[in-house]
Structure 1
Amino acid sequence: MNLKEMLNVADRIVFEKTGQHLDDLQEAVLRGTLQRETYKEIAKDFNCSESRIREIGSELWQILSEDLGEDVNKKNFRSAMERLEISIYLNVAQEESVQINSVNICGEARHPPNIPNSHPPNEETSNSKPTKTSHQDLSEMPELRDFYDRTPELHTLTTWILQQRCRLITLTGISGIGKTTLAVQLVQQIKDEFEYAVWYTLDEFPTIDKFQSNLTQLFSHSEKQDSSPTNQKRLPLIKYLQNHRCLIVLDDVHNLFCSGELAGKYKPEYEDYRTLFKQIEKLSHQSCFLLIGWEQPREVTQVKNQNTAIRTLQLKGLDIAAAREILREYGLEESDNSEALIHRYQGNPLWLKSVANLIQDLGGGVTELLPNDTILLPEDLKDILQQQYDRLSELEKQVISLLAKESQPINRAKLLENEIIPASDLLNALQSLSRRGLIEQQTNFYTVSPVLRQYLHRNLDGSDALP
């Protein structure tokens, strides 16, 4: 939902509760909240007291909380509306699935006001499918703390998994960009659509035998509980994926791959995962694997045909509005340079938190500590970048150092003119660096982010200044 649609839904909820539509001041509070304005800013815009705005906000949050069945407040209003949208989407997808396999006598669905072609959350219909027993092992899934707006990405992943029935999805991106946080939010929203929902971190189950054994043990144990057979035989993993609708998330999948090589090359002891992922892609089944990591398997990157059951989402930085929410938590939202700071650190949540924490500790401001496009590299941020740099092959290090010397995007033809790196090797390195999210490509031009360029410059020659 966009801002106007969210206001329309809120207006419907308030009208059903009070018999009155939103007045101008109530709408201003909701609109300001969605635009991430403070109560003080909203009051100033509307020429009234901050206490009056807070009072109106409190009344609205109470009404919305009662209707949506959760504690709604200024901080989570946007995310509550996004969860409502996902709930509506899931109900529609569920009904459409049922109607495909049954006779729809009326051919007409009920829709809530202002939300076309959808059903309100928690609405019971005569066509709802029977609830299946849900078995979940999410003990390794991190707790969701701060979640910043990722509505388009959530919608894309939800569509791929629930509507398009993709079997293998990779979620990649540079460290700190928010891959795991996004996946946790996704799993929380769609897990009940599956008979099994499982989250494994691959540093805990590195070998294929141990990983498959843990999965099949979960399946066979739950089947015994459900059917109580006298002698249940454990099946191959693929059979369980065919017999049941499963969502299996593998986090830190980059631990399967070699350091010092181009992206996605398996360590010798983990080559069997290649066979598993090919099975998941090729064989018919009704389950979905979501792979999260800095790198993805090479067999996945080679698939570009949208008719296949494989998809890849490379996560980028937050937009300005969402990134400002981070700066607001550190008291930096009023800074005139906040937007420039967000661009400089590419909207990367972890990078922004790191530099905002340093600014807060030093007791300064953005303009004072980051004048003239200065890049600060806190020690924890340098450690994060070092981990990613250490994974690169020597060839990639050579190529990224060439890019780091240029403050502007450099044409691929110019890169190929270098007399050190053969053309074939250079192109392979550019492809690998792009897959890692360490360089940016626009048509035939390549560049390195200011943060990474500053780090590389210091890492290569110890200098603190940009070239």
Structure 2
Amino acid sequence: MTVEELLDAVERILQNRPLDSIQWFVLYQSWLGKTYDEMAEGTGYGSNYIKQIGSQLWQDLSEATGERITKKNLHLVLSKYLQGISKQQNQPQEQQFNKKFRFTRLDPNFFSGGKMEFPSGPLPAGSTLYINRPPLEQLICSELIQPGCLIRIKAPKKTGKSSLLNQMIAYAKEQDYQIIYLDFQEADEEVFTSLDKFLRWFCIYVTRQLNLFPCLDDFWDTDMGSKVSCKIYFEGYLLQYIASNPVILALNEVQRVFEHPNIAQDFLPMLRFWHEQAKQDQTWQKLRIVVVHTTEIYVPLKLNQSPFNVGITITLPPFTLNQVQDLALRYGLEWAADSQGIKRLESLQAMVGGHPYLVSLALYHLSGEKMTLEMLLETASTPMGIYTQHLRELLNLLQKEPELMSAMQQVMASNEKVELDAIAAYKLESMGLVQLNGNQACIMCELYRLYFSQQLVKL
């Protein structure tokens, strides 16, 4: 049973009764075989609380089905439930969303002169090429309506973070929420020279997004410090002037802040403090914070200071084979609809590991009918292949940082997972080159293994 079928089954069983974000999280993680302790590590909740949520969920499902459902027999019982439900063959499965949290599905024209647009950059909200990865979208939408929430979205570059963020912003606008979008890639390097300069830039940027006039000097007090001044500015000015509806503070490319420990060690705990203020102060409940970044934080922070062990964490997984098939059909590749087509797509999945950008690039070229799948795969890691520019960019990045090149060579030299320096491991993960289990790294996909084994030998 796929995740889409799981969500469909649960929706049918509970007769469209919505689950909240933590219930969706426990259901999905249980389906993946995670223990309650493992689930607790990625959230701000204790394992006992997670277990209570799970126990109640299994009880609700048991009462609705008339058959005892536990964490251990979840696969078996729900699979049996789905038997007999006829499904159309040769059609892409439409993702089953809880109606309360369904994103608007627009139908934009993606063709210009009969040609599909080249995959580059985030997909706009409502794009027919956007592939849902349930239950992540439901988790985000249901969490956004919680006062003072903090959501973290983490994934390597070119794996769909910004596209997901666009979908989330569109949903928030439907709820009449105000949006503040800030991409730290836009900041000049000079902004990061001191905490005071950074926080003043941050406040002015947010003020402009809210169409207000900056008046920092009325609230800034050097004796009280930059963090307190920033808090007072938000509390006494910005949050007072916005409407009663919530405001979403969407912070993209936050890993740029990680590169400046003098800023990160104060700014990140400040975000956590704001989130915790919402538990006791209605003014701060208006503010919902979304933090998007490519890698884990590698600036040492105390556990009670990090914003990344509170709120909810969304980690984007690679595309499944069914999702690759869905996207292939949206690209107009009719041969992908049947079981034979699935088998052909398995070879693409094996080459790129479900990496969203690499999959999309392949399907774009196949939709142009200028090459076959077999030819595409045969040349994938060579200078004649469709990935040559992408691969060269990654190689250039490695060559600029010798410690990363050295770490990559360690990964390539072993068939097992390799223990790496934490910062090097996180940076390689940020680039999408490796998968991590702690600081242990292995190569992300066969394409990278083939290409870098050739290039590193040359070097």
TM-score, normalised on structure 1? 0.55
In 2, Cα distance between equivalents of 1:152 and 1:447: 26
In 1, Cα distance between equivalents of 2:294 and 2:391: 17
- Which residues of structure 1 form unaligned runs of 5+? 12-27, 39-74, 89-139, 224-233, 258-263, 416-424
Letter in 1 for 2:131: Y
Check the 8 A contact 1:377/1:455 in 2, yes or no: no
Check the 8 A contact 2:429/2:435 in 1, yes or no: yes
In 2, Cα distance between equivalents of 1:176 and 1:196: 27
- Relative to structure 1, the CA distance from residue 403 to residue 371 in structure 2 (aligned partners, 3 Å threshold; closer, same or farther) is same
- Which residues of structure 2 form unaligned runs of 5+? 17-83, 104-120, 192-197, 215-230, 278-283
**CA displacement at 1:182 relative to structure 2:** 1.0
**CA displacement at 1:162 relative to structure 2:** 3.1
- Relative to structure 1, the CA distance from residue 447 to residue 178 in structure 2 (aligned partners, 3 Å threshold; closer, same or farther) is same
Query: 2:407 aligns to what?
Result: 399
Letter in 2 for 1:288: R
TM-score, normalised on structure 2? 0.56
Query: 2:8 aligns to what?
Result: 3
Alignment length (residue pairs): 321
Letter in 1 for 2:408: I
**CA displacement at 1:327 relative to structure 2:** 2.5
**CA displacement at 1:371 relative to structure 2:** 5.8
**CA displacement at 1:177 relative to structure 2:** 0.8
In 2, Cα distance between equivalents of 1:174 and 1:387: 17
Alignment of 1:29-428 (within 5 A): 31-32=87-88, 37-38=90-91, 78-79=94-95, 81-82=96-97, 84-86=99-101, 143-144=124-125, 145=127, 146-163=129-146, 165-167=148-150, 169-193=151-175, 195-206=177-188, 207=191, 208=198, 209-219=200-210, 221=212, 236-239=233-236, 243=240, 245-254=246-255, 256=256, 264-266=258-260, 271-272=262-263, 275-283=266-274, 284=277, 285-286=284-285, 287-295=287-295, 297-298=297-298, 303=303, 309-328=310-329, 329=331, 331=333, 333=336, 334=341, 336-359=343-366, 363-370=370-377, 378-383=387-392, 385-386=394-395, 389=398, 393-406=401-414, 408-410=415-417, 412=418, 426=421, 428=423
In 1, Cα distance between equivalents of 2:122 and 2:159: 17
In 2, Cα distance between equivalents of 1:301 and 1:455: 37
**CA displacement at 1:236 relative to structure 2:** 1.1
In 1, Cα distance between equivalents of 2:439 and 2:422: 12
Query: 1:448 aligns to what?
Result: 443
In 2, Cα distance between equivalents of 1:437 and 1:378: 14
Query: 2:424 aligns to what?
Result: 429
- Relative to structure 1, the CA distance from residue 247 to residue 30 in structure 2 (aligned partners, 3 Å threshold; closer, same or farther) is farther
In 2, Cα distance between equivalents of 1:409 and 1:447: 7
Check the 8 A contact 1:250/1:291 in 2, yes or no: yes
Check the 8 A contact 2:157/2:430 in 1, yes or no: no
Check the 8 A contact 2:159/2:355 in 1, yes or no: yes
**CA displacement at 1:189 relative to structure 2:** 1.8
- Relative to structure 1, the CA distance from residue 30 to residue 9 in structure 2 (aligned partners, 3 Å threshold; closer, same or farther) is farther
State the percentage of identical aligned residues.
Answer: 11
Check the 8 A contact 1:166/1:309 in 2, yes or no: no
In 2, Cα distance between equivalents of 1:364 and 1:180: 30
1:438 is aligned, of 417, 433, 445, to 433
**CA displacement at 1:175 relative to structure 2:** 2.0
In 2, Cα distance between equivalents of 1:301 and 1:322: 37
- Relative to structure 1, the CA distance from residue 307 to residue 149 in structure 2 (aligned partners, 3 Å threshold; closer, same or farther) is closer
In 2, Cα distance between equivalents of 1:429 and 1:358: 33
Partner secondary structure for residue 151 of structure 1: coil
Check the 8 A contact 2:421/2:439 in 1, yes or no: no
Alpha-carbon displacement from aligned partner over 1:300-343 (angstroms, at most 9, x marks no partner): 98759999534443322112211112223152622632023123
Check the 8 A contact 1:165/1:309 in 2, yes or no: no
Check the 8 A contact 2:365/2:371 in 1, yes or no: no
Alpha-carbon displacement from aligned partner over 1:88-117 (angstroms, at most 9, x marks no partner): 9xxxxxxxxxxxxxxxxxxxxxxxxxxxxx
In 1, Cα distance between equivalents of 2:266 and 2:438: 34
- Relative to structure 1, the CA distance from residue 180 to residue 213 in structure 2 (aligned partners, 3 Å threshold; closer, same or farther) is same
**CA displacement at 1:178 relative to structure 2:** 0.7
Alpha-carbon displacement from aligned partner over 1:391-447 (angstroms, at most 9, x marks no partner): 7x43232122111233x333x5xx5xxxxxxxxx73553355446653224589631
- Relative to structure 1, the CA distance from residue 356 to residue 405 in structure 2 (aligned partners, 3 Å threshold; closer, same or farther) is farther
- Relative to structure 1, the CA distance from residue 85 to residue 374 in structure 2 (aligned partners, 3 Å threshold; closer, same or farther) is farther
Check the 8 A contact 2:123/2:130 in 1, yes or no: no
In 1, Cα distance between equivalents of 2:309 and 2:205: 28
Query: 1:135 aligns to what?
Result: none
**CA displacement at 1:3 relative to structure 2:** 3.4
Higher relative contact order structure (alpha carbons within 8 Å, sequence separation ≥ 6): 2
Partner secondary structure for residue 176 of structure 1: coil
Query: 2:455 aligns to what?
Result: 459
- Relative to structure 1, the CA distance from residue 352 to residue 295 in structure 2 (aligned partners, 3 Å threshold; closer, same or farther) is same
In 1, Cα distance between equivalents of 2:443 and 2:253: 24
